[in-house]
Amino acid sequence: MVRHYLSVTDFTAAETLVLLQRAHTLKAAWHAQQQQEFPLRGQTLALVFEKPSLRTRVAFEAGMTQLGGHASYLAANDIDMGGRESVADVARNLSRWVQAIAARVFKHQTILQLACFASVPVINALSDVEHPCQALADMLTLYEHRPALHTTTLAYVGDGNNVCHSLMLIGALLGVQVRVACPPDYRPHPDVVEQAQQFAAAHGQQLSITAVPEEAVAGADAVYTDVWASMGQEHEAARRRPVFAAYQVNQPLLRHARPDALVMHCLPAHRGEEITAEVIDGPQSVVFEQAENRLHVQKALLLTLLELAAASQSSH
């Protein structure tokens, strides 16, 4: 049975912690410039991207190179998935040539379909429902600054989007106290909220959702935000701006958090909109650590999934 990573819930809390520790070890080795072995020599990762990308693409490509493998990038017009060729056929073809697929798609259904027909691990590199690789990098960043995750409070302020979904789920899974503040019409999906609340309850925590940013941020260890209009929603940007104006992460809002609270953003950022330049470029910001950590968690994820796939093959 091939293991995929389509949602942060595809790994248990224990597996997720092992993955984060592995990423932390890989990062330490990378910073120490230690001569690495090349465990993925001769292996190829297909990057099937319907949306453009900076962090996800480069972190996967650099990660595969550093592990001795290769990444093959396929943009939307290279494949026209679901148009020129069905998602199922793309998955079947790629499975004959590559050892893993990372897909960045518009619809989550596309990722589910790819995984259904692929005989190699499929990684969700972003869909409209989740952004699990980003959430792993976020948790690694949080873990590095606040190792006792179960005593940590993370406040997310802004749109209840895919990043918010993955953060709520992985945070609750690992025992982080997660609070979300967003406009009433832009709340995260009720099904995701319910699942995250169940994870939180298992840790004696409570996931809270409010329309009041100050309430979410009060005493928080980390304050996280994202763009108000995600990729594919650019036409809504002007309509969203006045609705989200009260949700800007700025110095006055940050005063409600702990004095040493981390400032987090998954990037790209619109300075002056969801966050002020003063805050994102200030001393509490860890946004570029988050960006760097994409490399390390994605390497750890690739190694883990490919090891599991090899173990599964050898047991047959």
* Rounded-to-integer distance, Cα 117 and Cα 74, Å: 18
Catalytic residue selected from 99, 134, 177, 197: 134
Residues 51 and 53: their CA atoms lie apart, in Å, by 7
Tokens 């606040």 correspond to what residue?
146
Which one of 4, 55, 57, 131 is the catalytic residue?
131
Please pick, among 3, 226, 265, 290, the residue that the annotation labels catalytic.
Answer: 226
* Distance separating alpha carbons of residues 141 and 300, to the nearest angstrom: 14
Least Cα distance to 301 among 41, 161, 101, 97 occurs for 101
Asked if 134 is an active-site residue, the reply is yes
Catalytic pick among 108, 179, 294, 296: 294
- Say whether 240 is catalytic: no
The reply to whether 266 belongs to the active site is yes
Question: Does the annotation mark 31 as catalytic?
Answer: no
Q: Is-catalytic flag, 255?
A: no
**What distance in Å separates the CA atoms of residue 203 and residue 7, rounded to the nearest whole number?**
20
CB 184 within 8 A of CB 211: yes
Three-state secondary-structure class, residue 273: coil
DSSP β-bridge partners for residue 44: 70
**Catalytic one of 104, 146, 265, 296:** 104
Bond from prior residue into 259 cis (ω within 30 degrees of 0): no
226 is catalytic: yes
What 3-state DSSP class applies to 47?
strand
Out of 133, 164, 182, 266, pick the active-site residue.
266
Q: Which residues contact 47 (CB under 8 A, 6 or more apart)?
A: 57, 60, 61, 71, 72, 73, 74, 102, 103, 104, 125
CA 295 to chain centre: 12
Supply the residues annotated as catalytic.
104, 131, 134, 226, 266, 294
